[in-house]
Amino acid sequence: MIGQTIAHYRIIEKIGAGGMGEVYRARDEHLARDVAIKVLPPGTLTDESARKHFRKEALILSQLNHPNVATIYDFDTQQGVDFLVMEYIPGITLNEKVAAGALPEKEVLRLGVQLAEGLAAAHEHGIVHRDLKPGNLRVTGDGRLKILDFGLAKLWRPVTATATTESLSETHAMAGTLPYMAPEQLLGEEIDARTDLHAAGLVLYEMATGRYPFADVEHSQLIGAILRRPPRPPAALNSRLSPELERIIGKCLEKEPENRYQSAKELAIDLRRLLTPSTVTRPIQRRKFGVGKTIPLAAACSVAVLLALILGLNPGGIRDRLFGRTAYAPIRSLAVLPLVNLSGDPEQEYFADGMTEALITDLSKIRALKVISRTSVMQFKDAKKPLPDIAQALGVDGILEGSVQRSGGRVRITAQLIRAATDTHLWAESYERDTSDVLTLQAEVAQAIAREIKAAVSPEETNTLGRSIPVDPDAYEAYLKGQSHWYQLSREHLDAALGYFELALQKQPTYARAYVGVANVWLERGDAGSMPPSEAIPQAKAAISKALALDGTLSEAHIALANIAGPYDHDWAAAELEFRRGLELNPNSADGHFMYADFLVSMKRVDEWNTEIHRTLELDPFNPFFRCFYGWHLVYLQRYDEAIAQFRSVLATAPEFSSAHMGLWGAYYKTGMNEEAMVEARKFFSVLHDREVEQALTRGYSESGYARAMHLGAEVLAARSKRTYVPAVRIARLYAHAGDKEQVLHWLQRACDEREIPLSHLGVAWDWDSVRSDPRFQDLLRRVGLPQ
């Protein structure tokens, strides 16, 4: 299989084999990291029912996360091959490490503590390894021990028991490897965490002595030795071994579970105490190895009751500390990376992207959590970058990655939560529902993530996260297709988006989000200059009214209404109320924060603007639109050098972004760089495919310079406006550059009559500096309701 690709995993090398299948190191091409692929033997899973059971069990195991436990990422079937995807651990197995002989006692203790703590974390989740042995333990170059294949033994029936050496290889129908089975496993009795502690004792024995305890026993006598014969004392093989470590190993290897350590945490405490002894110690006499002592019944009952209370109530987090769970700090910022489309159909990308956006929207409602917006995370779709690098670029400490698959009327989302700085997997889960319950599915995933990141979620936010409205599957599909087109923002895509939103409403007339989609298309048409606002905005207003009547909790509906109330209705007080309500419902709405910042700059409330615009850029750092209009705001505030740098930064990654060329054009003009301004003016109209104006600018500039160029460009647009709609503000801007004040005021009056959206910047835009003191301009400001 070397060199082949399964799903999006490129097989690099074979790193192991056994009864549970072959193991390969592979490269995850989506996330640019190495993983371990365990390929199940052919015929292990005989049908889909078996695969479903295996997947269910594997997903349970994938929830286990601890620094000393290798994480299971996924289970999949591709081209008839069933395989598990797991964390790749560089280094060597403990098997290889002890092959050279006994380890120094301090190293035995250091590795033993890690082993016990990893077991404690798993046992606290109710997961027993069942097949613990040196071959399932890996040691990295920096001395970190990782437990492999946790809980997988119970997924195979029967299992080939592969021991440490070929001489010990034996087949047994029970889960596990014969030489490392506890007596109760061999007898078919109930097993629990103490079964793993017996195996841990065998591992400690091998590290301390370099030998398996029953290495001299014939195959046919091995079961009898495990059941009845005490192991040879470790000190007989390693005289330098301390009596206390020998006692610890002996307690682990007691034949009766009740005579062993009762929890892995107890074992960890004793090993750690020996590793870091106190200044006052009492001498420990070497006892007869393999002979234990029983716990009095009353004491055992007291411990059991206390332990039950701790397990059930976890007062003050004591359970987590007692059982070794790492106390991670809460995640306060999160990026939901684009979910991988597992359908195999590229035409389904819109569905995966829609699921990603839905999760972002739901999680954004948590005020205590910073959630990166869609536009910025989409920059990393199919990116082959390490997760810590992505997290650093986005300014977050948590990453959510996963996949989505839609098949046969069902939708399945698999999600993994990762602490970005260390690439540590904290949680993983899979959720599946009918397509008619897709919103409930999204809510379940969002609620689970909120729990796992330990976010401070208010009762109101909890109710909001758990709230879902039934949606017709066909309506939802049409809505997602509409959203996919909406984000493209070209005239053709806007037309397609509107068609899909309207189709969604035909399928489900009560679908509030589809009405918001309709409104956004009309708002964009009115703002972008493709049609008169007096035609577009009433359509947007009607759609928003219907959306809010159906669902008053939609943040995006309130934000859209604010953008109508202020720039079109000139009711700025109402606009601010809607902005505040929208941001209350979704504190992480980058759109909401940006549009509120735009409102604040128009109101000349610079300190508040500064807060909102920087919050916008925190939430959506790679959005070229926000970065561009931050540059525009800097121009309004006469911070021209900063603005020029900002526009250049945008154009470095989005060279066809027309608004950035227009902003750079203005910034150059205000700093006296007319030649550079002329270049950007031509680029602006070139990006708009307005060859006529571009040629007029070139001709005018060659005739007599910048002012003449602007005048000819304005005349072209003015003549065109007699045949079709041209934004009057655009014509006024060109006349402003030409220095024609009367024409500027004439066209601004026309813009005011048409209620053009860009008039919201009338009081701050530098374009109107030449007419700002004119009483007619002051009258326009009063008509629009802006500060003088």
Q: Residues 714-729: pLDDT tens digits?
A: 999 999 999 999 999 9
User: Could you say which of 70, 87, 104 is where a domain stops?
Assistant: 87
Residue 397 lies in domain: 333-468
The residue that leads in pLDDT, 216 or 317, is 216
Instruction: Specify whether 45 is located in the same domain as 96.
Output: no
Confidence of residue 283 (pLDDT cuts 50, 70, 90): very low
Give the single-character DSSP code of 31: T
Kindly report which listed range (174-183, 353-362, 548-557) carries the lowest average pLDDT score.
Answer: 174-183
Q: Please give the pLDDT value at position 326.
A: 41
405 vs 446: CA distance, rounded Å: 17
3-state secondary structure of 13: strand
The percent of residues above 70 in pLDDT, for the chain, comes to 87
594 vs 80: CA distance, rounded Å: 49
Q: For residue 110, is pLDDT > 50?
A: yes
Mean pLDDT along residues 783-788: 91
Instruction: Mention every residue, 6+ apart, whose C-beta is less than 8 A from residue 185.
Output: 130, 174, 176, 191, 195
Instruction: Specify whether 169 is located in the same domain as 33.
Output: no
Q: For residue 312, is pLDDT > 70?
A: no
Query: Tell me: the pLDDT tens digits for 657-687?
Result: 999 999 999 999 999 999 999 999 999 999 9
Q: For residue 313, is pLDDT > 50?
A: no
Mean pLDDT along residues 697-711: 95
Q: Please give the pLDDT value at position 152.
A: 57
User: Could you say which of 444, 468, 492 is where a domain stops?
Assistant: 468
Q: Which long-range contacts (CB under 8 A, 24 or more apart) does 14-21 make?
A: 18/135, 18/160, 18/162, 19/156, 19/159, 19/160, 19/161, 19/162, 20/149, 20/152, 20/153, 20/156, 20/159, 20/160
The answer as to whether 31 is a domain residue is yes
* CATH number where 346 lies: 3.40.50.10610
Kindly report which listed range (526-530, 535-539, 651-655) carries the lowest average pLDDT score.
Answer: 526-530
253 HSE (CA, 13 A, CB side): 31
Instruction: Specify whether 65 is located in the same domain as 101.
Output: no
Q: Please give the pLDDT value at position 441.
A: 82
The residue that leads in pLDDT, 455 or 113, is 113
22 vs 17: CA distance, rounded Å: 4
Kindly report which listed range (205-219, 428-442, 688-702) carries the lowest average pLDDT score.
Answer: 428-442
* CATH number where 145 lies: 1.10.510.10
The answer as to whether 661 is a domain residue is no
Provide the sign of the torsion angle of the four alpha carbons 673, 675, 680, 681, taken in this order: positive
Q: For residue 156, is pLDDT > 60?
A: no
DSSP secondary structure letters along 545-610: HHHHHH-TT-HHHHHHHHHHHTTTT--HHHHHHHHHHHHHH-TT-HHHHHHHHHHHHHTT-HHHHH
Kindly report which listed range (3-7, 313-317, 692-696, 733-737) carries the lowest average pLDDT score.
Answer: 313-317
Q: How many domains does the chain have?
A: 3
DSSP-H helix ranges across 603-639: 606-619, 624-636
Residue 589, token pair as written in the block = 């709405």
635 vs 766: CA distance, rounded Å: 7
Query: Tell me: the pLDDT tens digits for 252-266?
Result: 999 999 999 999 999
Instruction: Specify whether 226 is located in the same domain as 120.
Output: yes
Q: Taking the CB of residue 736, how many other CB atoms lie within 10 A of it?
A: 25
Q: Which long-range contacts (CB under 8 A, 24 or more apart) does 311-320 make?
A: 319/124, 320/124
Give the single-character DSSP code of 87: E
The answer as to whether 395 is a domain residue is yes
Q: For residue 168, is pLDDT > 50?
A: no
Confidence of residue 529 (pLDDT cuts 50, 70, 90): confident
Question: Residue 479 is which amino acid?
Answer: Y
The answer as to whether 745 is a domain residue is no
Query: Tell me: the pLDDT tens digits for 459-503?
Result: 777 777 766 677 888 999 999 999 999 988 788 999 999 999 999
Residue 769, token pair as written in the block = 């500096």
Instruction: Specify whether 83 is located in the same domain as 120.
Output: no
Rounded to the nearest integer, the mean pLDDT of the chain is: 84
Query: Tell me: the pLDDT tens digits for 323-353?
Result: 333 445 678 999 999 988 877 678 888 888 9
Instruction: Specify whether 156 is located in the same domain as 47.
Output: no
* CATH number where 23 lies: 3.30.200.20
pTM: 0.60
The residue that leads in pLDDT, 125 or 655, is 655
Q: Please give the pLDDT value at position 442.
A: 82
- How do strand 33-39 and strand 81-87 relate by DSSP bridges? antiparallel
* Backbone phi and psi for residue 402, each to the nearest 5 degrees, phi listed first: 175, -160
Q: For residue 654, is pLDDT > 60?
A: yes
38 is in an annotated binding site: yes
469 vs 449: CA distance, rounded Å: 20
DSSP-H helix ranges across 93-221: 94-98, 105-124, 183-186, 193-209
The residue that leads in pLDDT, 459 or 693, is 693
Instruction: Specify whether 242 is located in the same domain as 178.
Output: yes
Q: For residue 43, is pLDDT > 80?
A: no
Mean pLDDT along residues 71-82: 85
Instruction: Specify whether 363 is located in the same domain as 408.
Output: yes
The answer as to whether 380 is a domain residue is yes
The most confident of 385-394, 403-412, 463-472, 637-646, by mean pLDDT:
637-646
The answer as to whether 363 is a domain residue is yes
Instruction: Specify whether 145 is located in the same domain as 270.
Output: yes
Max CA pair span of the chain? 108
The answer to whether the beta carbons of residues 62 and 429 sit under 8 Å apart is: yes
Q: Please give the pLDDT value at position 15.
A: 85
Instruction: Specify whether 62 is located in the same domain as 115.
Output: no
257 vs 265: CA distance, rounded Å: 16
The answer as to whether 286 is a domain residue is no
Confidence of residue 158 (pLDDT cuts 50, 70, 90): very low
The answer as to whether 688 is a domain residue is no
- How do strand 333-336 and strand 370-371 relate by DSSP bridges? parallel
The residue that leads in pLDDT, 436 or 413, is 413
User: Could you say which of 58, 87, 116 is where a domain stops?
Assistant: 87
Q: For residue 221, is pLDDT > 80?
A: no
Instruction: Specify whether 75 is located in the same domain as 104.
Output: no
Query: Tell me: the pLDDT tens digits for 170-189?
Result: 333 345 677 898 998 887 78
The answer to whether the beta carbons of residues 96 and 44 sit under 8 Å apart is: no
**How many angstroms separate the Cα of 452 from the Cα of each of 123, 294, 416, 461, 533?**
19, 40, 11, 15, 46
* Backbone phi and psi for residue 626, each to the nearest 5 degrees, phi listed first: -65, -40
Instruction: Specify whether 79 is located in the same domain as 174.
Output: no
